[in-house]
Chains A and B, each alone.
Chain A
């Protein structure tokens, strides 16, 4: 059982915006602005899309954005494109005992 809760699936049409939530607790997401998001295509390694809640690595499209409110972090993808269809995982720092924890993953379908 994952420590961070994500919806199993979300879907949207090309051009629309979707948001994927990542719900933790006060002890992880709620206490640290250290949430990252990863995109994973089938059979491929994950790719970092967002770090420190809302920062984009160089080369990641500005269509990807992150935010946080309380114990829930969110990844928003605007202007959906067919190439965005993938699995998405959130990850949070969890202090000096558990250290890092991932969400259960969300499958994004572009209709």
Chain B
């Protein structure tokens, strides 16, 4: 059973860059889409993007200009960087695993980290 754990700062100042890491255990970081999803307090989930085992990334169009994801297979970790943070970026950030069948068919986000609350405030 794969387990995911987010790590990073709980408080970020406006205009700074958020850096989060997700550590994967119990499975290889290959063959899946490693995803970041966030949820502002009291609001719905927002898909941020994913990185696959080849390092290929896909980002939400609304965040694309500020997002970068990377993968370190040797450490079984993948990371998120989000630049120019503002108050609207305050949210619980989740890392998740999306299983993909042959042909690119998604089987959904079947494993999630516990989430980490990131607050943007000076």
A residues contacting B by CB (< 8 A) are 2, 34, 36, 38, 44-48, 50-52, 55, 57, 89, 91, 93, 96-105
Contact = CB atoms under 8 A, between A and B. Distances in A.
Contacts, number: 63
Interface residues of B, number: 19
A38 to B, nearest CB: 7
Contacts of A34: 105-106
Nearest to B6: A45
Interface residue SS majority, chain B: strand
A45 B107 contact: no
- Among A50, A55, A91, A99, max chain B CB count under 10 A is at A99
A55 B46 CA distance: 23
The 8 tightest CB contacts between A and B, nearest first, are A36-B108, A51-B108, A45-B112, A100-B47, A102-B45, A105-B44, A48-B108, A51-B107
Given A51-B107, A52-B107, A105-B44, A99 B58 contact: yes
Given A36-B109, A45-B94, A48-B108, A102 B115 contact: no
A97 B61 contact: yes
A102 B112 contact: no
Given A51-B107, A102-B45, A105-B45, 5 more contacts: A36-B107, A47-B112, A97-B61, A99-B47, A102-B47
Nearest to B47: A100
